[in-house]
Amino acid sequence: MHIRLIVGLGNPGPEYEQTRHNAGFWLVDNLANSLPGCHLQRESRFQAMVAKTSIGGKDVWLLEPLTFMNRSGQSVGALARFFKVAPEEILVVHDELDLPPGAAKLKRGGSSGGHNGLKDITSALGTQDYWRLRLGIGHPRTLGLQQAVADFVLHRPRREEQTLIEEAIDKALRIIPMVCEGKMNAATMQLHTDAP
């Protein structure tokens, strides 16, 4: 079993581009830019930016839903059904409040942890049994901020947090070829022990 679909979560539009909730988009954008001839293009039938590419010798779809976060499952479900991609062949990249900026973790299954994008994807796929790449953005309480969570995720990170998030994305990008080859244990071990 290997990953055939990498989904980056975020909200479309310039006003959201730099916000913490768009960390999944940031990773997929960086990934697409690092692959020769890989260009995300608007695909109306999936309501998403989509690219087909090859990573680790495997055909892989990249997807950024344009439905807004809480309807992400519409895009993911539509592409997965159309190309017969099983839930365990899907990797969803998203911002994670429960991890500090600079942390990145890979896991399969589990609850949405209150993340509306994951909730909608779980609903669309009918299962929680897909892979997640969690990019830490920190929590307003642990970062000493008085913001409400909904407000926090829709603001841009402070400069030092941005640097840490970008380092985590770089670490995560290094394991993507292993993930696409199905070497999940090796990828997890490298990501969780890789020093920034």
Q: What pLDDT shows up at residue 194?
A: 67
Sign of the C-alpha dihedral computed for residues 31, 32, 34 and 36 taken in this order:
positive
Distances (CA, A) of 176 to 44, 56, 74, 93, 113: 27, 8, 24, 11, 23
Judge whether 91 and 134 are in contact, CB under 8 Å: no
Give the pLDDT mean for 6-19.
97
Residue type at position 21: H
What residues have CB less than 8 Å from 129, skipping those under 6 apart? 87, 88, 108, 109
Helix and strand numbers, DSSP H then E, in the chain: 6, 7
Mean pLDDT, the chain, as a whole number?
95
Residue-wise pLDDT tens digits, 114-155: 899 999 999 999 999 999 999 999 999 999 999 999 999 999
Q: For residue 21, indicate whether it is catalytic.
A: yes
98-108: b or e for each residue (b if 16 or more CB lie within 10 Å)? Answer: ebbbbbbbbee
**Measured distance CA(193)–CA(45) in Å, rounded:** 40
Catalytic residue among 2, 21, 94, 115: 21
Give the pLDDT mean for 4-14.
97
Strand order in the sheet with 90-96: 41-43, 48-55, 58-65, 5-8, 90-96, 131-136, 104-108
Q: What pLDDT shows up at residue 1?
A: 83
DSSP letter, residue 158: P
Residue-wise pLDDT tens digits, 76-127: 999 999 999 999 999 999 999 999 999 999 999 999 988 999 999 999 999 9
Distances (CA, A) of 50 to 41, 66, 96: 5, 10, 23
